[in-house]
């Protein structure tokens, strides 16, 4: 759900029940298991132990900016905004699974990509969700043009999609709750900067 996931885990010290993982996406259960295994290895090798309360707090409060990160988009004139880089086919497949798990069908997706990325494969990975794209670009010479992305989507899906010259304008055109922003870490960083008011990220 939107509050993360709850899992049980077994460690050499016993079982941890009802661990809340604050990060979105079912794949975070695997990531949490890896983190717990690393803590066990550190304890065994160097004798540094992390208490159960600290483990629970760490998993619950963990944040990964730009990876299935849900933000309040009020500063940008939007509702909720879900940021995820999804800048390669594997990332797009993980995003598609996460959106399906969250019950999002036909999500609104503000999408931009850089040259050298496998855009057709990324768009195909998202296609089963029947996304309503708004294509845009960041201010970078290596960014793909929104029209180029819209043509690629039309070839894949047979559907038209609007374009916007800047991420801020794309957010204004997009209509959805949440609005998903994906396809480029540069795009995610710029939108995150717009939403949080951070000039460093928006630049």
Report how far apart, in Å, the C-alpha atoms of 128 and of each of 69, 72, 109, 125, 133 are: 22, 26, 13, 7, 13
Q: Which residue range(s) make up the domain with 136?
A: 69-202
C-alpha gyration radius of the chain: 19
Share of the chain above pLDDT 90, in %: 61
What does the pLDDT read at residue 24? 77
Residues 75 and 52 occupy one common structural domain = no
Kindly report, residue by residue over 55-80, the tens digit of the pLDDT: 989 988 877 788 899 999 988 888 89
Cα-flanking dihedrals φ and ψ of residue 194, to 5°? -60, -45
Residues 41 and 134 occupy one common structural domain = no
Residue ranges of E strands in the chain:
5-11, 14-21, 69-72, 80-83, 108-111, 132-135, 179-182
CATH number of the domain bearing residue 86: 3.90.190.20
C-beta of residue 75 within 8 angstroms of C-beta of residue 195: yes
Q: For the chain, what is the domain count?
A: 2
Residues 97 and 148 occupy one common structural domain = yes
**CB-count exposure of residue 20 (10 Å: 0-12, 13-18, 19+):** middle
Kindly report, residue by residue over 119-162, the tens digit of the pLDDT: 999 999 999 999 999 999 999 999 999 999 999 999 999 999 99
Residues 42 and 96 occupy one common structural domain = no
d(CA 81, CA 110): 10
Residues 46 and 141 occupy one common structural domain = no
Read off the pLDDT band of 2 (50, 70, 90). low
C-beta of residue 68 within 8 angstroms of C-beta of residue 4: no
Residues 73 and 56 occupy one common structural domain = no
What does the pLDDT read at residue 203? 45
Using the predicted structure, report yes or no on whether residue 177 has a pLDDT greater than 50.
yes
Residues 93 and 152 occupy one common structural domain = yes
Residues 49 and 94 occupy one common structural domain = no
């Amino acid at each position: 759900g939107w509050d993360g996931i709850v899992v049980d885990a077994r460690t050499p010290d016993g079982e941890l029940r009802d661990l809340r993982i604050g990060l979105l996406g079912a794949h975070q259960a695997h990531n949490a298991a890896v983190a717990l295994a690393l803590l066990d290895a550190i304890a065994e090798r160097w004798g540094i132990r992390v208490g159960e309360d600290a483990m629970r707090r760490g998993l619950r409060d963990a944040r990964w900016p730009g990876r299935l990160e849900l933000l309040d988009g009020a500063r940008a004139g939007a509702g909720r905004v879900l940021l995820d880089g999804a800048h390669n086919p594997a990332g797009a497949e993980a995003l598609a699974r996460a959106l399906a798990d969250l019950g999002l069908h036909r999500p609104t997706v503000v999408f931009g990509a850089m040259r050298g990325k496998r855009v057709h494969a990324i768009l195909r990975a998202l296609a089963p969700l029947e996304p309503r794209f708004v294509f845009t670009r960041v201010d970078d010479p290596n960014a793909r043009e929104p029209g180029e992305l819209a043509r690629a989507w039309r070839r894949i899906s047979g559907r038209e999609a609007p374009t916007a010259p800047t991420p801020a304008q794309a957010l204004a055109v997009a209509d959805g709750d949440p609005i998903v922003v994906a396809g480029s870490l540069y795009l995610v960083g710029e939108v995150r900067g717009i939403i949080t008011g951070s000039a460093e990220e928006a630049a």
